[in-house]
Amino acid sequence: MITHGNAIQLIAGNGNLPLAQEIAKQLKMELCDVEVGTFSDGEISISLPKTVRGRDVFVIQSTSSPVNDNLMELLVMIDALKRASAGRITAVIPYFGYARQDRKAKARDPITAKLVANLLTTAGADRILTMDLHAAQIQGFFDIPLDHLYGSPVLAKQCQKLISAEPDKEWVVVSPDVGSVSRNRTFAAKLNVPLAIVDKRRPKANAIEVMNVIGDVKGKSCIMFDDMIDTAGTICQGAEALIKNGANEVYACSIHGVLSGPAMERLSASPFKKVLLTNTVPLSKEILENPKIKQVSVASIFAKAITRIYMDTSISDIYED
């Protein structure tokens, strides 16, 4: 258990309780009691049975589906902590919902990511700790400190084991779209393998989209990396394009397994041999039992970051281990 200055307390909402429990276990701590429920009309109800006065409190809550319920739950918890005179409140948000609404794509669009940042600050959060924001510029939406963690080292470690187990195969990292090239270039460098790109474009108006593969994938084992898999349409189309271009096998890995709508149906029918996901978003038992899905934990990264925030030391050295 870590001790430094004011006492530390961990509190979890319903957004991702399994990850919160794992983080607490890594820190050799217990999650503090908090009564989270709803009134008969659906309003969020929060009650803190024990004092938090002067405490350094970390509230662990992913704002994944149901997004609005989990976000509101987080805001009400922060407000309750603020009014109970908590010393410092850090919102630990493994998956930051609304991150894809970071700009005006067309006239009269909202910038909801900025709105959420304002709400968290107004509620009383003193600091944000999150992982792999869909758009890195969201860090600038906050007027309070934000620590941005990366889950790619955990996935890279798993992929390195895969590559080491089959050294005779030729491996290549494939970006599922042009927008993810920078992320995949860094990932490929970690694995010391070449990079290829799937470029999806429409040759003319009302024509079917064509998937072009930039790079050599023929006869190779491919690893597609993305920050999130939502409906899985883009990444599954990319996998099919790789197989058509002569790839021997395709793996996928992603930080946030949102997996909404037809995602599991598409992944099950896809050419992927295995799909690696972290636990920033909780997955149902049914999904975890799917033979194509493998979940890896980022609890140790969050536990190390929480320790460093509490001790007022550098977070950047987490990735030097």
CA–CA separation, 210 and 208 (whole Å): 6
Q: Which residues pair with 225 in a beta bridge?
A: 253
Which residues are identified as catalytic? 200
Query: Which one-letter amino acid corresponds to residue 225?
Result: F
Q: Identify which of 255, 227, 15 has the alpha carbon closest to the alpha carbon of residue 134.
A: 227
Query: Which one-letter amino acid corresponds to residue 252?
Result: A
Query: Please, what sign has the CA dihedral across residues 14, 17, 23, 28?
Result: positive
Cβ pair 259, 230 in contact under 8 A: yes
Cβ pair 238, 208 in contact under 8 A: no
CA–CA separation, 302 and 321 (whole Å): 14
Cβ pair 80, 91 in contact under 8 A: no
